[in-house]
Chains A and B, each alone.
Chain A
Amino acid sequence: MPSFIEKNHFLLRRLHSLTGIVPIGVFLIAHLLTNSSIIWGGAALREGMHDAPFADKGIAYFQEEVAWINTQVPHLLLIEITLWASLAFHAILGIYYAKTGSANTDRYPYQGNWRYRVQRLSGYLGFLFIFYHVATLRWGWTFLVPGGTEWSFRYSASTLAAALHGSTAGLTTVGVVVSLFYFVGVSLLVFHFANGLWTAAITWGLTISRAAQRRWGYVCTAVGAALMLMAWMGLFGALAVKHDDAKRIETQVHQATGADSHVAPAGSVADGH
């Protein structure tokens, strides 16, 4: 193993940097955009539910989006496997590389040094979080979900809310712990991506002068702030969802799109997107 890493040092280092942006970072953007639509989706819903409350329309839009991703995106399993493999590669090498450093923020408490430190910490914690998140909501490891709710793309908001709340009846104490873990996890991961985007530009030699690094820093801060907002919208939007109400709305969506089957009719997809 070490000799393989030594021989392919450059390639592995740069693949480590690249995978953080493509596919992982690109997926993160798409994922948080979809998740946050549970809040803003009411403004984007194109048909039906004209007199429904804004929050209900958000749930309906989110459901349509999630159902579309899970039924209409081609080669979904291939995309997912690529993502899981990239995440595993990025995480394993990341831990291997992080072990070569020794934090010294106590003596040199510079902002850049803190970011260096938090980048590594957020990598460790973020990976644990992603593992829990994917295992429970994607791979159906319901024994790790308090309340045992299995997430379903056909009832995306209601089952998500129940998994976060720890029950279908409302927020439980374990649910608070899970939700806090989600809050810390997504926040750290958004930081990890924004800061990684900033350092990747130095690694590849795109930003050279201090001024260029500062300018790119503003861009990465803006990207990070926007993603953070989306992450929190998605999380707090899901926490605000009441399981039974959401289930009713999701059933309505299925009826409206004529989709009690897994596949929405092509017409509704063309209209909706």
Chain B
Amino acid sequence: MSATASHTTHARPQAKPGRTVRFRIKRCDGPGKPVRWETFAVKPEAGANIISCLQQIAASPVTVDGQKTTPVAWDSGCLEEVCGACTMVINGKVRQSCSCLIDEYAPNEGDEITLEPMSKFPVVRDLWVDRARLFDALKRVKAWVPIDGTYSLGAGPRESAEQSESRYVMSTCMSCGCCLEACPQYQVEESPEKWPTSFIGAHAMNQARLFNEHATGAVLKGARLDTLMGEGGVNDCGNAQNCVQVCPKHIPLTESIATIGRSVTIHAIAKWFRG
């Protein structure tokens, strides 16, 4: 990896027009297929992001050694950092590729950018991973407000300004998986039958808190806490607090984890006495 530290500086560096940026990409043709590294030279357009550079590579998939290869596969959706689909490991750090702007990130001739798929999810192809377990975790904690029924429930409960402000930021989670990729307690698990006992992750604990603190959503609080009390729940968190450092939405994940810890403590004691 060469000089790409520029993205941490605040004064925006002037990108050199017509420069060449090298992309070193970890490639894999599909589940169980071997991994290989390929490097491509790209002349980024003004305002380029990682995705537009990948599009350039797809238009002419030739490596720096002149080898013709297949286009690099990736996943994306919104292109404005709200869907989470384009998350990948860029120069060793997990983040969204759509909001990684090349003019800032690699302003100089010969700058190199290393792209890897997230390591905590099974690879579908190249940079595209399958985040099914992340969504399964949301089902496990019933991350919703139950309103289905045979009659109208009427208007929803009123929420105070303070409460809505504190819950709003929790609701901005885009299920990107950054918090899981950076978590030392979250390991890749390919077999779905092991998901119910594997560590659920910070995003799910945050969603459990979001809906526990909603007046109607709180109906399911006991069920959520039963799940989070068990194996793979909040007790499996090791408090490394990487999740909160990498969350692109700046969600106070460690506060959510501690809140769930408190709820679970109270829930367990109450259950023990109540039977």
Contact = CB atoms under 8 A, between A and B. Distances in A.
B229 to A, nearest CB: 5
B5 to A, nearest CB: 14
A168 interface: no
Interface stretch (A37-45, A82-90, A109-117): A109-117
Contact of A101 (B185, B241, B254, B261): B185
Contact of A205 (B93, B185, B230, B265): B265
Contacts of B259: 205, 208
A242 to B, nearest CB: 45
Given A9-B230, A10-B230, A100-B185, A203 B239 contact: yes
Contact of B261 (A5, A97, A108, A204): A204
Contacts of A209: 252, 255
A116 B239 contact: yes
Contacts, number: 97
Contacts of A14: 235, 265, 268
Contacts of A255: none
Contact of B231 (A9, A101, A207, A208): A9
A204 B269 CA distance: 12
A35 to B, nearest CB: 29
A13 B260 CA distance: 15
Report which residue of B239, B246, B259 has the largest number of chain A beta carbons within 10 angstroms of its beta carbon: B239
B197 interface: yes
Contacts of A115: 240
Contact of B197 (A6, A117, A199): A6
Given A102-B184, A113-B184, A205 B261 contact: yes
A12 B260 CA distance: 18
Given A100-B185, A102-B184, A107-B92, A202 B235 contact: no
A210 interface: yes
B255 A208 contact: yes
B258 interface: yes
B184 A101 contact: yes
B238 A116 contact: yes
A108 B230 CA distance: 28
B227 to A, nearest CB: 12
Contacts of A104: 182, 184, 242
B236 A100 contact: yes
A10 B245 contact: no
Contacts of B254: 202, 210, 213
Interface string B238-275: 11111001100000101101111111111010000000
Interface string A140-154: 000000000000000
Nearest to B241: A112
Contacts of A204: 261-262, 265
Interface string A154-181: 0000000000000000000000000000
Contacts of A110: 240-242, 245
A265 B182 CA distance: 62
Contacts of B264: 10, 205
A103 B230 CA distance: 23
A205 B268 CA distance: 13
A206 interface: yes
A131 B259 CA distance: 37
Contacts of B229: 9-10
Of B197, B238, B265, chain A has the most CB atoms within 10 Å of the CB of B238
B258 A207 contact: yes
B69 interface: no
Given A101-B185, A107-B92, A205 B242 contact: no
A259 to B, nearest CB: 48
Interface string B145-172: 0000000000000000000000000000
Nearest to B182: A108
Contacts of B93: 107-108
Interface in A60-84: none
A103 B186 CA distance: 11
Contacts of A101: 184-185, 238
* Smallest CB-CB A-B distances: 3 pairs: A205-B262, A116-B240, A205-B261
15 contacts: A9-B229, A10-B229, A14-B235, A97-B238, A103-B184, A113-B242, A202-B257, A202-B258, A203-B235, A205-B261, A205-B266, A207-B258, A209-B255, A210-B252, A210-B254
